[in-house]
Structure 1
């Protein structure tokens, strides 16, 4: 039960900032203020939410009485906004990934550890019907030990607009791995109950981003004359965790294969297939009743009221209102994902397996 209405400030008022603000409003909370460097964006946000807007987050923090902050800037600017909020004791929802590089992510984690507030990372794909059912069965011991996860986030064609911050390494920290791979890495680790990650072998590729004949049926790609594309558009990785548990990872912005967000978790007693953020769960079982047999069971009916971004925002705001840090999407888990991302890039550069730092 919510104990109070949360007074929320938003840093970065683009699509995701507006998404957080809309969800907060629909959940009965108050969007007090927003900060963004673009005047037109500030004006639109103020009109949409009745909020006071600022050019910089520090002025907003100093000028408003806030309970919590949602940070949805480009990755390179997460650290300054998140750390300053945590130093003021605000609870923070930080967009994924935690930062644009490992050193920055570590400084955020240190600030969270020293703060009276908490930091939650917006891995919104965990909040799905299939995932909730999977985790309940897992807690009951149904799968035994999950020893391997096959993790796929593949777009046949889905490179974000070239010239935006997504394709410029200085602002994003990387390409497909940072943008969508971060979700796949987190989700795979979550299905395994976040074991310690020991080493990574990876290959990254840039096969489509520079092509003049790039085919883009979905109109994702919007190249400009001064566009920067200095990141990868795909990656393949093998991630080895404690007790030789493994994750095979395939991530692409563009590839000559069908779109998929399929995950398969293999356990010692049963397995399961589900899509990232999806509603359908199929469990793979076996038995001896009557005769030796295999049995596939698929979830039917039933759905969470709020999933994805709305569900993630709801859980963040409930935790803020209750004054208790959520167990979901912790800053420590966000830091683990950042370490895996860092290892993927180091392995790709070295051409060999690397240990996590």
Structure 2
């Protein structure tokens, strides 16, 4: 893990941090516009293989665009880069950034596996570049509110907690008019389905609350005929706090998602804490107003606001802002590569238990039986 302060700081307080965005699809544009709204950060270039995405970046005020991220990294003098590419490209993009001496803020999942994440972090460490990961759920106002209330100790010990996170299905909301991107449905490109898309955000937020987690059991399901799961349920245990947690994440073909797609509830011995109690008082009015603003923007060909004071997207803004501040100060990012690797290791353990149909207790019992089995002595005749 990189120490703080970082020995590779290349900045002075008087200059703006020059940032490139690698991949300007949906989430890449969120990061691009977030960065453009920040003091002391200048987005100087963006890269994307899709011409329409490059045009969007140019309309948003990006001075230069490239059709290849490696060309961007070789052509621009950057301080940092946002890696918002499909997971299959994360390792290679970080390798190219390492060659250029550029710190990276990587969209989750950090990689497709723990082993690939380890290679990525070794490359970054050898080059002396910082790695931040976009695990934004802990920045979401309602989840942050739960963490603050739990830290106050008002509900005492929390023996049990539940968490649910939902999203649009892989085909998008009905009626389906355009084909979805192919890579999220390709396990070789994405690394997995809902467990990697949604679950690792939850793993990060839960470990932020309760400390290191153990996966006790897991089940996955593909409700549609796709090669990746669109639903996963995981039973977790936090040894440090003695908390058992049930987590469910799913990507469903609903016409309308719930207004709040994440639910977190802590059952304390003297009361409960729910993220529902930490929603802004004007949440629904603000959400409706923002939706109308974005619809109007699309009608007028203007770009919708993606970095502003909206409930969900401010978390991405704050995560990237913290990363940029860490880079500017020569410190380790608050959510670093080791955090990103840890969530992948939890997901891999869940996949392993789901595939075998076992839980951790069964596996441990089997290990004990193996250890207790005595070897028969050889008998010579």
Give the TM-score of the pair, scaled to structure 1: 0.76
Structure 1 match to 2:219: 203
Q: 1:332 aligns with which of 326, 338, 350?
A: 338
Structure 2 match to 1:185: 203
Distance 1:160 1:171 in 2: 17
Q: Does 1:239 align with 2:242?
A: no
Distance 1:57 1:271 in 2: 47
Residues 318, 129 of structure 1: CA spacing in aligned structure 2 closer, same or farther, 3 A cutoff?
same
Q: How many residues align?
A: 310
Query: Which stretch has the larger CA shift, 241-250 or 329-338?
Result: 241-250
Larger of the two Rg values belongs to structure: 2
- Match of 2:95, SS state, is helix
- Match of 2:46, SS state, is strand
Query: Which stretch has the larger CA shift, 346-355 or 232-241?
Result: 346-355
The 5 A counterparts of 1:95-134 are: 95-134=107-146
**Structure 1 residue 152 displacement after superposition:** 0.6
The 5 A counterparts of 1:100-179 are: 100-155=112-167, 158-161=169-172, 162-179=180-197
Q: Does 1:345 align with 2:351?
A: yes
**Structure 1 residue 8 displacement after superposition:** 0.4
Q: 1:24 aligns with which of 35, 38, 51?
A: 35
Q: Which sections of structure 2, spanning at least 5 residues, go unmatched?
A: 1-12, 173-179, 282-309, 364-381
Distance 1:323 1:184 in 2: 28
**Structure 1 residue 249 displacement after superposition:** 0.8
**Structure 1 residue 268 displacement after superposition:** 5.4
Structure 2 match to 1:60: 72
Q: More helix per residue: 1 or 2?
A: 2
**Structure 1 residue 74 displacement after superposition:** 0.8
**Structure 1 residue 331 displacement after superposition:** 1.6
Report if the CA contact (8 A) 1:201-1:238 is conserved: yes
- Match of 1:201, SS state, is strand
Structure 2 match to 1:316: 323
**Structure 1 residue 63 displacement after superposition:** 1.3
Report if the CA contact (8 A) 2:214-2:346 is conserved: no
Distance 2:15 2:143 in 1: 29
Residues 153, 275 of structure 1: CA spacing in aligned structure 2 closer, same or farther, 3 A cutoff?
farther
Distance 1:167 1:33 in 2: 29
Report if the CA contact (8 A) 2:150-2:273 is conserved: no
Q: Which sections of structure 1, spanning at least 5 residues, go unmatched?
A: 211-228, 281-302
Query: Which stretch has the larger CA shift, 237-246 or 64-73?
Result: 237-246
Report if the CA contact (8 A) 2:215-2:234 is conserved: no
Residues 138, 113 of structure 1: CA spacing in aligned structure 2 closer, same or farther, 3 A cutoff?
farther
Report if the CA contact (8 A) 1:128-1:279 is conserved: no
Q: Deviations over 1:242-291 (max 9, x none)?
A: 344322111111289984521012445654111599547xxxxxxxxxxx
- Match of 2:206, SS state, is helix
Distance 2:107 2:91 in 1: 11
Q: Deviations over 1:317-345 (max 9, x none)?
A: 22222222232x22211111101111121
Distance 1:17 1:277 in 2: 28
Report if the CA contact (8 A) 1:4-1:321 is conserved: no
Distance 1:276 1:316 in 2: 29
Give the TM-score of the pair, scaled to structure 2: 0.72
Report if the CA contact (8 A) 1:8-1:70 is conserved: yes
Distance 1:95 1:3 in 2: 28
**Structure 1 residue 137 displacement after superposition:** 4.2
Distance 1:330 1:170 in 2: 24
**Structure 1 residue 48 displacement after superposition:** 2.9
